[in-house]
Structure 1
Amino acid sequence: MAGLKGILGVQELKNGEANLFRAIVAEFFAAMLLNFFGCGAVVTGNVVAIALAFGLVVAGGVQGIGHVSGGHINPAVTCGLLVIGK
């Protein structure tokens, strides 16, 4: 279980290496971008464009905020892991 917590970034948040507020704000913006670009791609009606939009936003979000909060792209998951990790 310690390996999973390390992968998810729980230890960095608990140890204070990553600021909690900074992590939650990063998760919020990544989730906002996922919803904006992913759901915006639905307007095209092209399945490939929709899949590429969601995939590229997730890949970019994980690369962009992974070092800050673990790259969950969901603020609730970040907070939940903090609660579980105590």
Structure 2
Amino acid sequence: MAQSYGKQTEKVTFNISVELKERLLALKNELHVSLSSLYNEAITKYLREKELEKWEKGVSMALKDSEYKALNKELGADGGSLHEY
């Protein structure tokens, strides 16, 4: 589970419920890792999920856009051949 998050780090303070902190401590002890690594992994995963949600929303919006769909159809009508520019 260890992961490198770069050389520059910054200390961050935030509030967390007692119940959630107890669950994290239990997981930390079970996995033999630091709380910091658990926090970093969770935040990294959360950011990846949110970025994916933004891309999915963009695709959904594009597929509802009739001008985009027409341009996509026009640009894709080349028979799939490769062109050298």
- With normalisation by structure 2, the TM-score equals 0.37
Greater share of residues in helix:
1
Greater relative contact order, per chain length (Cα 8 Å cut-off, separation 6+): 1
